[in-house]
Structure 1
């Protein structure tokens, strides 16, 4: 009997060890964090910013002993802003690299395509950029998607408010990329205009490959648009500005944050600085001790950063940095690397003093977006640098 009990005890220990291997990690191992983003092409600067924000946070976490007794490491894949590449990369990171959590979704279409994959794998999917409303408000139960970024329908309201306050807009025209991100914002912008009982001059769409936008913009000018509300990635956004310059149409442009995603000023030309676009963070202005510390770490790690104007786009760094620390708190709360436990861990986060703000219960009560309208700021390009729009401008 004693021998039988000993065998059972030994078997229990082995099974417990196997279970720990599935939900925790050995000290000789690393906890892998995955990143799917654009690391080449027009949006490469944004992908670089996300990488830097994540790595900065990972360095801090590792310096304090890591998580669950293990160090973190970042494993990245380039999706080139392409849905097919993003899906392949996500599968590889989940099933081959066995990442504990997946970050990604620089582009809304890519993010939406990855959601079924993470849901099936029960892996947390953290969004530090893509703003499509339906990414987090996807109707899935359980929902494995969490975001530290802007949300389209709230950005859309902010865009209309800004256009009215700064330019006295009364009849804006909409020009939107023809993909799920554009569709999300078309719905939100129309709702925002309807809430003010404001008419619009019209809605025009553009494709990623469009090089001549004179017809779309010409129709908006003929309809007497007094401002343009723009939603498009960096390349098409630049094409809009070039077309306006060629048409000599000096109409105010209020944009989602597409222009911040890469080589906008280079591609758009002289009038790039006239576009005002939304952000969630800036390293300019008065900084808290935490913000000062993070900026000092950025300068130490990346020699090309000498001043706040060199962190471009700052929103990518800040969103990713805060998102990584919040994810670490979720993993700590879970006490394991089990995806469903980490998902529940997000909901139990009580507070975190972050770079963007002080977070209180950011994901409680089914909330999957940690940022809201009060966290948005407005920016513009000056000498190839993203700078806050002065509140004293006319």
Structure 2
């Protein structure tokens, strides 16, 4: 077999049991899973689809022999869309049912309330139906939380941006469920409105128990709204559309997000919801053949029930759990490398999406704009001068031929590194690779980067003046490529200077001198020589020259004075602890293996990284700091606030 890709022998876990200290829910014959859904609350009508999607995948796994000979069984509890009921449900699933994992639980509020109880008990919390970044924070970034749904912020930003561009909407209003749902979806709505140079003309909230939405819709009409964005679920979506129809309001468009665009909304609302726009991940009628086949199987299994997006996604998310999905995964990857559809309409639509991403991450982000200008000034010759998302003229000018050429060059098996971690064997992975990847033709490799950034012979400065609350300072020093021998010493230096509140820069600039609200650094893993970037947010009224001076003084100490043994020991412990925590999880192991293979030239270096860190001496720290952290080698970018 021609090995067009590298196989990393990363079958590091016998089963997923290795991700958690919880030993319950598993016997010689079965694995017990649990979930909590809204079986009695405001969105109960949509739960059969979600529940059936999960059950269908579990049945298929069991019919195929289960996981390592164990059959799956799922226990379903009711959360009524109420946080307190979700906590009780999780408590029962853990204490009474002794589940191995909680999978696909439903609702942002219920999941936010219950996730901590699960992960604190050592129970895997898998694929919660809650597009909420808050859940990750509440869990304490626990490795036992696996999220798969996009956050509401991103979904709503994309949807509103598309509507504004597609239909020229100028007056956007927002009706929302008070609480986490409305706050999270609202963030995306407002960012999209701002990115398009608009402002919300009206906002109106409602409580979960409300059944009358006439006042909210009336407020939208009084403001002359031409696009109403609604953060709603089933009943509220139908109710708001009903009020719009009662007013005979025909020159307005209504957009809802994932919770309000399910099949049950169409069944309940019928003609009332005609004209409702929804943003999500599956558009009926555009499915791939595999999805259409799945829909037919779903209808046969569940008495001709028409599946909706919830049914499909609950099936897919459940399918992430067993290793039996490997065949499908390889099939999908192979398909992605050869069958991308280049539809002109979709391409032009995506051009707008990319431009929107640039506005959000760069043009309307002070930090993003300053970072882009720092790199543009620091790199005068190397392609790192160019922003990843592209300059505006790049986005406006790329053609279909450009995309096809890039796709052909980049999406090929000889240009990919595949990392597989979990209950797998090398023999099985190679069998699947031979089946799905070997038939794919090699493509010419990406052209080699021959341009090298010339040595910087003097400090460079960039100043941006624009409306902002506080200044921002970025100071970048040229550093070597990831696989360079000095990279480990730079990581130790980074820990000494910026890791935690006892680090040198935090202790000096934030605590002692009270000059900054925050200080950090951004060491970058790169294929070619890159940048080590310091980031400072000065306090209001503080001259940026003072924060710069304090930073440079601390750097000079590191260059000229050996670091004490106890401080070096602390920095090494921080790095080693961080790495060991990553190695405890499947995702962490996969990420580390891929990072070391791509950026450091060999995944095997991961297994010597601990020894490499331990080998760093005070002399190494001093030598590397003196070599790279010089005045001639730095670029300073400063954002100065000015009045609007």
- Mapping of 1:16-55 within 5 angstroms? 22=23, 25-27=26-28, 29-55=29-55
Could you say which residue in structure 2 is the equivalent of 1:270?
A: 271
Q: How does 1:45-194 map to 2 (within 5 A)?
A: 45-127=45-127, 129-136=129-136, 138=138, 140-194=140-194
Could you tell me how far 1:330 is from its partner in structure 2? Answer: 11
> How much does 1:225 deviate?
1.3
8 Å CA contact retained: 1:103, 1:125: yes
Cα distance in structure 1, aligned partners of 2:64 and 2:100: 19
Q: Which runs of no fewer than 5 residues in structure 1 stay unpaired?
A: 1-19, 351-360, 362-394
Do the aligned residues in 1 keep the contact of 2:37 with 2:77 (CA within 8 Å)?
Answer: yes
Looking at structure 1, the residues matched to 237 and 282 of structure 2 have their Cα atoms a distance apart, in angstroms, of 21
Greater Rg, structure 1 or structure 2? 2
The residue aligned with 1:320 is: 314
Distance 2:585 2:262 in 1: 32
Corresponding residue number in structure 2 for 1:377: none
Q: Distance in 2 between matches of 1:262 and 1:234?
A: 9
What secondary structure does 1:39 align onto?
Answer: coil
1:111/1:135 contact within 8 Å kept: yes
Instruction: State the match for 1:3 in structure 2.
Output: none
Structure 1 position 70, deviation (Å): 0.8
Please give the alpha-carbon distance, in whole angstroms, between the structure 2 residues aligned to 1:293 and 1:347.
34
Q: The residue matched to 1:22 in structure 2 has which SS?
A: coil
Are residues 293 and 60 of structure 1, via their aligned partners in 2, closer, same or farther at CA, if it must alter by over 3 Å? farther
Give the TM-score normalised by structure 2. Answer: 0.46
* Greater relative contact order (CA < 8 Å, ≥ 6 in sequence): 1
CA contact (8 A) 1:104 1:127 kept: yes
Shift of 1:25: 4.2
For residue 203 of structure 1, what is the aligned residue in structure 2?
A: 203
Q: Which runs of 5+ in 2 are unaligned?
A: 1-20, 327-420, 424-580, 595-644
Residue 255 of structure 1 deviates from its aligned partner by 0.8
Cα distance per residue 1:215-258 (max 9 Å; x no partner): 22222222221110111111122221122222222321011123
Q: Which residue of 2 aligns with 1:256?
A: 257
Contact 1:329 1:345 in 2 (8 A): no
Number of aligned residue pairs: 321
Deviation at 1:203, TM superposition (A): 1.4
Structure 1 position 93, deviation (Å) = 0.9
> Deviation at 1:346?
4.6
SS at match of 1:131: coil
Alpha carbons of structure 1 residues 287 and 348: separation in structure 2 relative to 1, 3 Å:
farther
User: Normalising to structure 1: TM-score of the pair?
Assistant: 0.72
Matched, 1:235 2:229: no
Runs of 4+ in 1 over 6 A off after TM superposition: 340-343
Deviation at 1:268, TM superposition (A): 4.1
* In 2: Cα distance, 1:222 partner to 1:161 partner: 23
Question: Which residue does 1:344 correspond to in 2?
Answer: 585
Name the CA shift for 1:89/1:141 in 2 (closer, same or farther; >3 Å). Answer: same
Find the residue that maps to 2:585 and give its secondary structure: helix
Output the aligned Cα RMSD: 3.2
